[in-house]
Amino acid sequence: MDIVKIIGIGFIAVIIIIILKQYRPEFAIYVSILAGILILLIAINSISGIVNLLQDIANRTNVNSEFLKILIKITGIAILTEFAVSICKDSGETAVASKIDIGGKVIIISMSIPIIKALLETVLKILP
């Protein structure tokens, strides 16, 4: 079970961080980053299964594969942005975290324009 691994990594990281903050607080952020990377690597296995399932469904339903690619990229950007924001907040840099968050949202909106355009064109075709 991947969730047990993820929880285990998280708990071990928290314990190490608590201990490090007493003696060497500058190293605590490195443990946090390492734990986050390990958790992302474990989650990638699940993500690849989801992507394969979505591609199979898209092929069966004749959904435009470009839209699926865009949605997968948007999801990846959201995950990576949240990871970076969390790391910045953990290190006490909330201002940088806010800027990363805004940047991620702007990129997601700009990437979703083709989907929004197609949706609006479909609605206009349906309306008299």
Q: Residue 50 has what pLDDT?
A: 83
One DSSP character per residue, 101-116 reads HHHHHHHHHHHTHHHH
Name the residue among 105, 85, 83, 104 with its Cα closest to residue 94: 85
Q: Residue 25 has what pLDDT?
A: 85
Total-model pTM: 0.77
Query: What does the alpha-carbon distance between residue 49 and residue 95 come to, in Å, rounded to a whole number?
Result: 35
Query: What does the alpha-carbon distance between residue 76 and residue 69 come to, in Å, rounded to a whole number?
Result: 11
For residues 23-34, average pLDDT: 89
Name the residue among 84, 86, 71, 77 with its Cα closest to residue 107: 77
Q: Name the residue with tokens 């949605």.
A: 71
Q: Residue 52 has what pLDDT?
A: 84
- How high does pLDDT run on average in the chain? 89
Copy the structure tokens of residue 48: 């690849």
